[in-house]
C-alpha cells in the first residue's frame, strides 16, 4: 500500500481542517465522508479538490462495511466517540481519532482490546504533544535539570463563545445564545452534557509526555450547573482535578469551555516544578515562558524563547495548524500504516490521558471521591486481547478492571 484510503467521519468545523490538511500531506486519499446530518455532506465534498467517486453517507455502518476504506478519521463530537473508534478497529480499519478519545471507562477498554485484537493502528490525534517546547521540557525533566518533579499544573480553558453549544439538527448550523429566540429549533450539543474535565486528554497528553509518567489516582471538583458566565448553558464553568502519578508527582489540571479568557494567552497553560527548579508557560501575550534553576545562581525566573513551533519543522508542517503541530499526527499515523509498526503515541499512552479525565468526572459525580486509574497495558494480570477480570472488591456490573471502590462509569 502506498496510499491510505481514508474516510472522514463527523463533518463539523474540525473535519474541514482535516480535509484541507489530508489533501496536502502525501500518502492519503479521502474516499468517503460521513455525518448523520445530511446537510453537512455537501460542504465536505465541496472542500475536496477532486470529489469524483468519493462516497457520502449519513450512516457510519456504510463506512465500516466498505472494503475500499483503510482508515477512519474520527472528527465526531458525541458521547459515543470511543465506541465509534472501537467499532472502526473491530471492522478492520485503522483509526485516527480527535480528542478526547472516549467518554466512559468501558469505551476505553473497548478501544484497547479492539486495537490489540485487530492489530490495526489506533491513534489519538492529540497534537500539542508535538509542540517544540514540549520536547524541550521533556529533555529538561529527563536530565534532572529541575530535580525530581513534585508539582505540575495544566489547564485548557477553551472559550469559543456560545455557538458551539446549540445546533440545528437538520442544517448542522450552530447558534449562540443571542440567536436562540430566532432559531428555536436549535438544540443543545453534546458539549452541554459533556463534563468539561473530559477534555483533559488535550492537556495530559503533553504533560505526561514531559513527565514520562502515568496518572494512578484522581479526584476532582466542579463549579455548579448552569454556567455563571452564560446561564443558558448547562455546562459548569470550571472543573479542577487533582491527580497523583506513578512517580509520585501531584498534578492540578483544569478545564472549562464557558469561562471567558484573554485571547492572547491561548487555551493551554502548563507549569512543572521540581526539587531543583521550575518551568512554566507564559501567562499573557507580552510574556515569554520561564525557567528557574535552584543551582543556577538565579535570583528570579528567566525568560526563555520556547515556542509552540518546532525549530526542526519540515516545510509540510508549516501552517498546518496549532503552531504547526497538526501535521505531525497525520504524518505519524500515515507512517505507522504504510511502514508498519506503531504510532509514537500508542493506544496505551492515549488511554492514559483519557481514563483519568473520565474518572475525574466520576469523582465529581460521587462527591469528590478518590478514584484509582486502571493500567490498560497487558501484563501479569491480563493477556493482550483479553478482557480484564474484575478487580478485588468490584461489585457485579462494575466496569472491567476498575480498582476497588470506583463509582459506576455511565458518563
Ligand X SMILES: NC(=O)c1ccc[n+]([C@@H]2O[C@H](COP(=O)([O-])OP(=O)(O)OC[C@H]3O[C@@H](n4cnc5c(N)ncnc54)[C@H](O)[C@@H]3O)[C@@H](O)[C@H]2O)c1
Interface positions with ligand X (CB under 6 A): 9-15, 34-37, 40, 60, 75-78, 80, 84, 98-100, 127, 172, 189, 322
Beta carbon nearer to ligand X, 203 or 352: 203
Beta carbon nearer to ligand X, 100 or 154: 100
Concatenating the DSSP letter of every residue in 20-83 gives HHHTTSTTEEEEEEE-SSGGGHHHHHHT-S--TT-EEES-HHHHHH-TT--EEEE---STTHHH
At closest approach, how far in Å is the CB of 278 from ligand X?
27
Beta carbon nearer to ligand X, 302 or 319: 319
Beta carbon nearer to ligand X, 203 or 362: 203
At closest approach, how far in Å is the CB of 98 from ligand X?
3
Q: Which residues contact 238 (CB under 8 A, 6 or more apart)?
A: 157, 196, 222, 223, 254, 255, 256, 259
- C-beta separation of 126 from 205 below 8 A: yes
Instruction: Give the 3-state secondary structure percentages of the chain, helix then strand then coil, rounded to 5.
Output: 30, 20, 50
Beta carbon nearer to ligand X, 10 or 256: 10
- Other residues' Cβ atoms within 10 Å of the Cβ of residue 368: 12
Helix, strand, or coil (residue 293):
strand
At closest approach, how far in Å is the CB of 41 from ligand X?
10
At closest approach, how far in Å is the CB of 393 from ligand X?
34
Beta carbon nearer to ligand X, 117 or 170: 170
Concatenating the DSSP letter of every residue in 156-197 gives EE----SGGGEE-TTT--B--GGGTTT-TT-EE-HHHHS-GG
Beta carbon nearer to ligand X, 281 or 402: 281
In Å, what is the CA distance from 138 to each residue of 52, 275, 331?
45, 16, 21
Q: Which residues contact 144 (CB under 8 A, 6 or more apart)?
A: 276
At closest approach, how far in Å is the CB of 340 from ligand X?
26
Q: What are the grid coordinates assigned to 147, written together?
A: 530535580
Beta carbon nearer to ligand X, 32 or 216: 32
At closest approach, how far in Å is the CB of 164 from ligand X?
7
Q: What are the grid coordinates assigned to 136, written together?
A: 524541550
Q: Which residues contact 227 (CB under 8 A, 6 or more apart)?
A: 233, 234, 235, 236, 237, 258
Cα–Cα dist 342/333, whole Å:
8
At closest approach, how far in Å is the CB of 12 from ligand X?
2
Length of the chain: 411
Cα–Cα dist 57/63, whole Å:
8
At closest approach, how far in Å is the CB of 352 from ligand X?
17
Residue nearest ligand X, Cβ-based? 12
Amino acid at each position: 500500500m502506498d496510499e491510505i484510503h481514508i474516510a472522514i467521519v463527523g463533518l463539523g468545523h474540525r473535519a474541514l481542517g482535516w480535509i484541507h490538511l489530508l489533501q496536502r500531506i502525501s500518502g492519503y486519499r479521502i474516499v468517503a465522508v460521513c455525518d448523520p446530518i445530511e446537510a453537512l455532506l455537501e460542504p465536505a465534498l465541496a472542500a475536496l479538490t477532486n470529489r469524483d467517486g468519493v462516497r457520502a453517507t449519513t450512516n457510519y455502518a456504510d463506512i465500516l462495511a466498505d472494503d475500499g476504506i483503510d482508515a477512519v478519521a474520527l472528527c465526531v463530537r458525541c458521547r459515543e466517540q470511543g465506541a465509534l473508534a472501537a467499532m472502526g478497529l473491530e471492522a478492520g480499519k485503522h483509526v485516527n481519532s480527535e480528542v478526547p478519545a472516549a467518554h466512559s471507562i468501558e469505551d476505553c477498554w473497548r478501544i484497547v482490546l479492539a486495537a490489540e485484537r485487530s492489530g490495526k493502528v489506533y491513534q489519538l490525534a492529540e497534537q500539542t504533544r508535538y509542540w517544540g517546547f514540549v520536547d524541550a521540557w521533556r529533555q529538561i525533566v529527563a536530565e534532572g535539570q529541575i530535580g525530581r518533579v513534585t508539582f505540575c499544573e495544566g489547564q485548557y480553558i477553551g472559550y469559543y463563545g456560545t455557538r458551539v453549544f446549540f445546533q440545528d439538527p437538520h442544517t448542522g448550523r450552530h447558534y449562540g445564545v443571542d440567536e436562540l429566540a430566532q432559531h428555536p429549533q436549535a438544540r443543545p450539543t453534546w458539549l452541554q452534557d459533556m463534563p468539561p474535565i473530559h477534555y483533559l486528554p488535550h492537556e495530559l497528553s503533553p504533560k505526561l509526555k514531559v513527565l514520562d509518567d502515568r496518572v494512578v489516582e484522581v479526584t476532582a471538583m466542579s463549579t455548579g450547573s448552569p454556567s455563571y458566565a452564560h446561564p443558558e448553558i448547562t455546562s459548569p464553568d470550571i472543573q479542577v482535578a487533582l491527580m497523583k502519578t506513578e512517580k509520585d508527582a501531584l498534578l492540578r489540571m483544569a478545564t472549562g469551555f464557558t469561562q471567558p479568557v484573554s485571547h492572547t494567552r491561548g487555551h493551554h497553560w502548563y507549569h512543572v516544578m521540581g526539587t531543583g527548579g521550575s518551568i512554566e508557560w507564559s501567562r499573557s501575550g507580552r510574556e515569554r515562558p520561564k525557567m528557574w534553576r535552584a543551582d543556577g545562581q538565579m535570583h528570579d525566573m528567566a525568560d526563555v524563547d520556547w515556542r509552540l513551533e518546532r525549530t526542526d519543522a519540515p516545510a509540510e508542517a508549516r501552517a498546518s495548524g496549532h503552531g504547526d503541530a497538526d501535521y505531525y499526527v497525520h504524518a505519524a499515523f500515515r507512517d505507522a500504516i504504510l511502514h508498519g509498526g506503531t504510532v509514537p503515541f500508542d493506544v496505551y499512552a492515549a488511554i492514559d490521558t483519557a481514563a483519568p479525565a473520565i474518572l475525574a468526572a466520576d469523582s465529581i459525580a460521587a462527591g469528590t471521591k478518590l478514584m484509582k486509574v486502571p493500567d490498560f497495558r497487558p501484563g501479569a494480570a491480563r493477556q493482550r486481547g483479553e478482557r480484564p477480570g474484575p478487580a478485588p472488591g468490584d461489585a457485579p456490573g462494575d466496569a472491567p478492571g476498575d480498582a476497588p471502590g470506583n463509582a459506576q462509569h455511565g458518563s
